[in-house]
Amino acid sequence: MDYYEWILETWPSRSWFDLNWGKKITTKQAEYCYSNQIPQALSLSQNYPNPFNNSTVITYELPDKNSFAGENHVTLKIYSIIGEHISTLVDNNQKPGIYSVSWNGSNNSGELVSSGIYFYKIRIGDKTLTKKLLLIK
């Protein structure tokens, strides 16, 4: 049996609706699994678009939790070029699969951050991957 979760994005409010559960979630929480494939290794893709203006999408792949020493607890955070924590996009347990999350260029307080280079880092178990992104206003 195939397993899919669907998210509907509404414009221009940038709010999202989970079509499986019918609940409204914020843009920073808008993550979804769009494949029934189980990846073989942890992967963090380059955000798209990059550079970006209004929002960008970050895709990552989570392997079977048995690949890691611990639970499948995932964190995906945004950092400034000086290492300051800007925003937490993901901080929860997730099943293996391919996920995407959107970042709208705001910090954890909901304020838009300035143009510049930022880093996004995913952590699962004792593994971390980091990529660079560019916000242009």
CATH of the domain at 96: 2.60.40.1930
Q: What is the C-alpha radius of gyration for the chain, rounded to an integer number of angstroms?
A: 15
Highest mean pLDDT among 2-6, 36-40, 124-128: 124-128
Helix, strand, or coil here: 86? strand
Residue 11 lies in a domain: no
How far, in whole angstroms, is CA 105 from its chain's centroid? 13
**Is the pLDDT reported for residue 106 higher than 90?**
yes
Separation between Cα atoms, residue 86 and residue 109, nearest integer Å: 9
Structure token pair of residue 136: 């242009």
Helix, strand, or coil here: 65? helix
Domain encompassing residue 128: 28-135
Residue 34 lies in a domain: yes
Neighbours of 50 (CB within 10 A): 15
Q: Look at the chain and report how many structural domains it folds into.
A: 1
pLDDT the model gives residue 16? 42
Residue 5 lies in a domain: no
